[in-house]
Amino acid sequence: MTATLKAIGIGKRFGALAVLEGIDFDLSSSAAIGIVGPNGAGKSTLMAVLSGALVPSAGRIEMDGRDITELGAAERSGLGVMRTHQIPKPFLGLTVLENVLVGATHAGAAQGEAAYALALGALDTAGMRRLANRPAESLGLLDRKRLELARALATRPKILLLDEIGGGLTDAEAEELVQMIKGLRAEGIGIVWIEHIVHLLMQVVERLICVDAGRIIADGSPAAVMAHPDVVRAYMGGV
Ligand SMILES: Nc1ncnc2c1ncn2[C@@H]1O[C@H](COP(=O)(O)OP(=O)(O)O)[C@@H](O)[C@H]1O
Ligand SMILES: [Mg+2]
């Protein structure tokens, strides 16, 4: 069963500030799209709009042809759209395992023993099993990012939205992350991955989108997008 997620003419304003304008793209499960762009381009805002954390000011979001623009994050995660946060948001008073169990039991993903098994499996996939009983508040930033991922995986997403999870990793850890995301994709999970470390993205995604100042300035094969003059210009700081 292939899930599809579509953004049509998405705009987002914060007061007078237009952060996104005219964003169109679509994604199927078993596909992977990378999103790049300078800081402040609107990438995380796009993820918030796709996940239902923010309501867009214009346009609509469709999943499997159904208009889900009005659905909040909890309802969308129930349908299989789940994100990680660039700034991790664990429940600090809970252990790592308890945090992931929240994901596993969320929106009826699983209950009881099945939820436990799902949570432990997600911890394994994210390389967090050995930290299962640690309080989330004791984790450093990298492990908090892994916890974000484990908690998202435990909801059994069809479409997984990843916001900068690759920063600060050693080469070996980055390679593990790439293999893990390839594995998720092979399981049929659709991936939207925002990442500054382009060479990691290039190993996983077949399509890259570059966002600059709230608009898509290039969309296509990773090599073509990175060579696009507007993308080169955006990365060189507008010269
Ligand atoms: N809740 C908000 N209220 C006002 N401005 C915001 C809010 N969230 C993001 N912005 C602004 O929107 C722009 C895009 O931010 P963001 O989506 O985080 O960019 P990116 O993830 O590409 O670095 C920035 O100028 C940021 O300051
Ligand atoms: Mg961001």
Each domain of the chain, given as residue ranges in start order, spans 1-80+159-239, 90-156
User: Which pTM does this prediction carry?
Assistant: 0.93
Q: What is the mean pLDDT of residues 112-124?
A: 94
Strand partners, 162: 193
Summary mean pLDDT of the chain: 93
Q: Residue of the nearest CA to atom 3 in ligand 1?
A: 14
Distance (Å, rounded) from C-alpha 222 to C-alpha 86? 22
Residues 6 or more apart in contact with residue 40 via CB below 8 angstroms: none
| Residue 143: pLDDT over 70 | yes
pLDDT value of residue 237: 66
61-98 burial, b if ≥16 CB within 10 A, otherwise e?
Answer: bebbeeebeebeeeebbebbbbbbbbebebeeeebbbb
| Residue 118: pLDDT over 60 | yes
> Span 1-80+159-239: which CATH code?
3.40.50.300
- Give residue 83's identity as a one-letter amino acid code: R
Pocket lined around ligand 1, Cβ cut-off 6 Å: 14, 17, 19, 37, 39-45
Ligand 1 centroid distance, CA of 18 (Å)? 10
Distance (Å, rounded) from C-alpha 113 to C-alpha 133? 17
pLDDT value of residue 239: 47
pLDDT value of residue 29: 72
Q: Which atom of ligand 1 is nearest to the CA of 163?
A: 21
pLDDT value of residue 107: 65
- pLDDT (tens digit per residue) in 156-194: 999 999 999 988 889 999 999 999 999 999 999 999 999
- pLDDT (tens digit per residue) in 30-59: 799 999 999 999 999 999 999 999 999 999
